[in-house]
Amino acid sequence: MGKRVLSGVQPTGNLHIGNYLGAIRNWVETQGEYETFFCVVDLHALTVPHDPQLLAVHTRTTAALYLACGIDPQRSTIFVQSHIPAHAELAWLLNCITPLNWLERMIQFKEKAIKQGENVGVGLLDYPVLMAADILLYDTDRVPVGEDQKQHLELTRDIARRFNDQFGETFKIPEPLIRAEGARVMSLQDGTVKMSKSDPSDMSRINLLDDPDTIAKKIKRCKTDAIREITYDPHRPEAMNLLTLYQVLGNKTREEVEKDCSQMRGWGDFKTALTEVVISHLAPIQQKYKEVMKEQGYLEEIIRSGTAKAEAVASHTLARVKQALGLWLKAGHPASWEQFLPT
């Protein structure tokens, strides 16, 4: 069996260049080397207050954007998490072996719980266990994600190890795949917080589907600092962020960027150059997205066949887990309980 990759994005809004650089762009690159599974994690999107109509739309647009960004349905298995009940089912089984205090320590839970106020749903706390289920169901070797998901990946590894210790070798231990550049794209309005779909201000992010005028406006108004020279300096979060975007989306090396910047007179020049780079990088993605959205039948067929392929793998793993836990398997699975009968 080849090595496997699995990852997913929540359909909680419009995908932005942070999702693209931190995750999807790296998924595309794994396609030659690994057996790849990419899902739209709609059950995760239920952990924050949501509008059902928008969820339905965003689940489709997210899947379409996977294709537009270069996920090839011939080489990758693309599916929607809720179409495969094994995800929710394994999450329950893992819940029963996961210590509560492991979940209470999660940074994302603490941050999102504060935003939700008094009525924090159980799902928000349990979110990383569902994510562990997504990953462990596919005997995943590598999980390409942005920096913010590192702690959840560590938790997935801890849950898998704990299960293996208590019930015998059942799960493969997955590893994160986090690229140095673009793993943490920051908000356009504050270089110290990450760009996010759920930031109330649309000006804080560049969405993959923003039109050229919107992109120009957002970059023009984005926060910079008072220093005229544009240099990579870890003490200048806004400069670091914008330079990284220019470098990665422009396919340049750091040295090339430094050379470009040495000829600029200040932030005005830089913003003009960055706007061009962003618009031209996103144009082919937007074009492909339009084509995919016009062919809903094609999209449905990709999801249908992806679900069938993913389900075959997932149901196999789930049966293995149930057996390890001592659950009574439905007919068709070899029985192993007789040897444990009291004599």
By CB under 6 A, name the binding residues for ligand ATP: 9-10, 12, 18-19, 21-23, 145-146, 148-149, 183-185, 194-198
Distance CA 333, CA 315 (A): 12
* Binding-site member from 135, 186, 209, 274 for ligand LTN (CB under 6 A): 135
Would you call 252 a catalytic residue per the annotation? no
Which residues in 152-211 contact ligand LTN (CB under 6 A)?
152
Would you call 194 a catalytic residue per the annotation? yes
183 binds, among ligand ATP, ligand LTN, none (CB under 5 to 8 A by kind): ligand ATP
Reduced to 3 states, what is the DSSP secondary structure of residue 260? helix
Alpha helices in 21-99 (DSSP H): 25-30, 42-45, 52-68, 86-95
- For ligand ATP, which is the closer residue by CB, 136 or 248? 248
Report which residue type is found at 145. V
- For ligand LTN, which is the closer residue by CB, 143 or 188? 143
18 binds, among ligand LTN, ligand ATP, none (CB under 5 to 8 A by kind): ligand ATP
DSSP string over 177-204: E--STTSSPBPSS-TTSB--TT-S-GGG
Q: Is 59 in the site for ligand LTN (CB under 6 A)?
A: no
Instruction: Considering the candidates 112, 288, 309, 322, report the single residue annotated as catalytic.
Output: 112
* Binding-site member from 15, 145, 257, 299 for ligand LTN (CB under 6 A): 145
Length of the chain: 343
Q: Is 28 in the site for ligand LTN (CB under 6 A)?
A: no
Q: 237 vs 38, 206, 256, CA distance in Å?
A: 32, 17, 20
How many Cα atoms within 13 Å fall on the side-chain side of residue 147?
A: 14
As a whole number of Å, the CA-based R_g of the chain is: 22
User: Closest by alpha carbon to 127, among 18, 45, 23, 8?
Assistant: 45
Per-residue x/- track, 235-274, ligand LTN (CB under 6 A): ----------------------------------------
Q: Which residues bind ligand LTN (CB under 6 A)?
A: 6-8, 10, 41, 44, 131, 134-135, 143, 145, 149, 152
Provide the annotated active-site residues.
112, 194, 197
